[in-house]
Amino acid sequence: MSRRRRKVLPKEPVRCVVESLSHDGRGIARQEGKIQFVDGALPGETVMAKVVGSRSKFDELRTVEVLESAPEREVPPCDYADLCGGCSLQHMAADAQIRFKEDTLREHFAHFGGIEPEEWVAPMRSESTLGYRRKARMGVRYVQARESVLVGFREKRNSFLTDIDRCVVMDPRIGERITPLRELLHSLDAFNRIPQVEIACGDDAAVMVFRNMDALSDRDRAALIAFGQAHDLHIYLQPKGPDTVHRIWPEQGEERLSYRLEEFDLTMKFHPMDFTQVNAGINSTMVHRAVEWLDIQPQERVLDLFCGLGNFTLPLARRAAQVVGVEGDEAMVVRGRENAELNGLGNVAFYGADLQADFTAQPWAGEGFDKILIDPPRSGAQEVCEYLTAFGARRIVYVSCNPATLARDAGVMVRNGYRLVRAGVMDMFPHTTHVESIAMFERVDK
């Protein structure tokens, strides 16, 4: 049996003339008709790049020298930008990043839905493109050859960890404490048995959740608690699955973080493992725009699908007669009810339901809805969009974290009697290729 031989890659960098940008942020060049995907290169640039992978139809390269730079090129604010996979566009100016995301959304609408909004709205921008990230999962690995612990994110396009000392896009309460975190982990008895640290930040506190594969020694527990005390962090352990997460510091108080939505006079509480938006500033702006676009009237009944802990549901309840929030995760249904009670809202109800099935016969759906908000996961909501027309809502706002599924679902909505009135992008994740967007649909009256 013949063994397939691995292709020998060129040792010397090759010259690339970059034509455009792929959806994952890599420059696209061509060499003798073969496509080249070039990390760290921008359209209009000529670069020298090292071949790091080769397939039959394309090569993968990494920029090592920029011979002719594009006007959009900037010096990355992070020392690890060339290697770390946490960000991919730090070498691109902020305005150019936004244009790239808008172009991505336009192309997906044209390709998947065959449609275009009647109006493109200005993008929602972050006040700062640094220090915004409130949730993340960092890998931890003990490297025996170096006799040291690495803490960071995966390198671009491989499974190795980038050894970082700080992270400029993470909330500074965490991002500025990577070095002491690494020193802590190296000092533990379980130095090679903690594979990840999850972080979550609220307005009031920041959390580190340590994934401990074995029971920790008393010495290790004391060291983690001392670290939390010294750096004003809440410390949690996760010995097994997500249900085993528990706090060891502080010893007293509710296992909750919180954030404010000041415009609506709301305090939103959440568990560190709950889904929340990573960018607090953009989240507030996004909620404002969604409520504004829905144009809620005092007598109206509103449906919020994939409602989570009530991030949109409760602001909507400040405007509407009644709001129904529906979520597939029962834990989040409970959290939504907790937040409604905390904020004294009696005109909102939360329900659990399988949102991949027809839910139009559910008791909570019987009275129909005037307006609908939908904020699905990356997989979108194709089935849901088929059912929504049964309610006859005059207006629907769709918040998306994946332009491909938004475009696909928009096509479904248009086929079912709605027009795509407006759409735009939100810079929820600066310096990454992640495209968050929002679209508004109105029913076509016959």
Give the tens place of pLDDT for each residue, 182-209: 999 999 999 999 999 999 999 999 999 9
Res. 2: pLDDT tops 90 = no
What value does the mean pLDDT take over residues 313-336? Answer: 97
Please say if the pLDDT value at position 351 is more than 80. yes
Percentage, residues of the chain above pLDDT 90: 87
Asked whether the predicted pLDDT for residue 5 surpasses 70, the reply is no
Mean pLDDT of 276-292: 97
pLDDT of residue 229: 98
- What pLDDT, on the 0 to 100 scale, is given for residue 6? 64
The fraction of the chain above a pLDDT of 70, given in percent, is: 98
DSSP 3-state of 147: coil
Residue 265's contacts (CB-CB under 8 Å, 6 or more residues apart) are 318, 343
Mean pLDDT of the region 391-414: 96
Secondary structure class of 144 (helix, strand, coil): coil
Q: What is the pLDDT of residue 1?
A: 46
Identified catalytic residue from 78, 84, 167, 401: 401
pLDDT digits (tens, 9 = 90+) for 127-168: 899 999 999 999 999 998 888 999 999 998 888 999 999 999
Assess whether 401 carries a catalytic annotation: yes
Residue 106's nearest CA partner among 374, 384, 410, 414 is 410
pLDDT score for 147 = 86
Per-residue pLDDT, 3: 54
Looking at residue 320, what is its pLDDT?
98
What's 159-223 look like in SS3?
CCECCCCCCCCECHHHHCCHHHHHHHHHHCCCCCCCCEEEEEECCCCEEEEECCCCCCCHHHHHH
- Structure letter (DSSP) for residue 419: E
Question: pLDDT (tens digit, 9 = 90+) per residue, 6-20?
Answer: 678 888 999 999 999
> Cα–Cα distance between 188 and 186 in angstroms, integer?
6
H/E stretch holding 387 reads helix 382-388
Which neighbouring-strand residues pair with 323? 302, 348
- Alpha-helix runs per DSSP H in 56-115: 94-108
Domain boundaries, the chain: 14-73, 100-127+279-443, 135-257
Bridge partners, 438 (sequence order)? 399, 424
Other beta carbons less than 10 A from residue 280's beta carbon: 20
Question: How does residue 328 score in pLDDT terms, banded at 50, 70 and 90?
Answer: very high
Over residues 52-73, the pLDDT tens digits come to: 999 889 999 999 999 999 999 9
Give the per-residue pLDDT at 4. 55
Give the chain's mean pLDDT.
95
Residue 404 above 60 pLDDT? Answer: yes
Strands (E) in 271-341, as ranges, are: 301-305, 322-327
pLDDT band at 446 (very low <50, low <70, confident <90, very high): low
Q: What is the pLDDT of residues 25-54, one digit of tens each?
A: 999 999 988 999 999 999 999 999 999 999
**Average pLDDT over every residue of 337-352:** 98
Q: Would 14-73 and 100-127+279-443 be classified into the same CATH topology?
A: no
Q: According to CATH, what is the number of the domain 100-127+279-443?
A: 3.40.50.150
How many residues are present in the chain?
A: 446
Q: How confident is the model at residue 78 (pLDDT cuts 50, 70, 90)?
A: very high
pLDDT band at 425, cuts 50/70/90?
Answer: very high
- For residue 193, give Cα distances in angstroms to 196, 232, 239, 358: 9, 24, 11, 45
Contacts of 50 (CB under 8 A, 6+ apart): 13, 14, 61, 62, 64
Q: What is the pLDDT, as a whole number, of residue 301?
A: 97
Mean pLDDT (whole number) for 66-89: 95
The CATH homologous superfamily to which domain 14-73 belongs is: Nucleic acid-binding proteins (2.40.50.140)
Give CATH for domain 135-257.
2.40.50.1070
The answer to whether the pTM exceeds 0.85 is yes
Q: Which two tokens stand for residue 245?
A: 């997460």
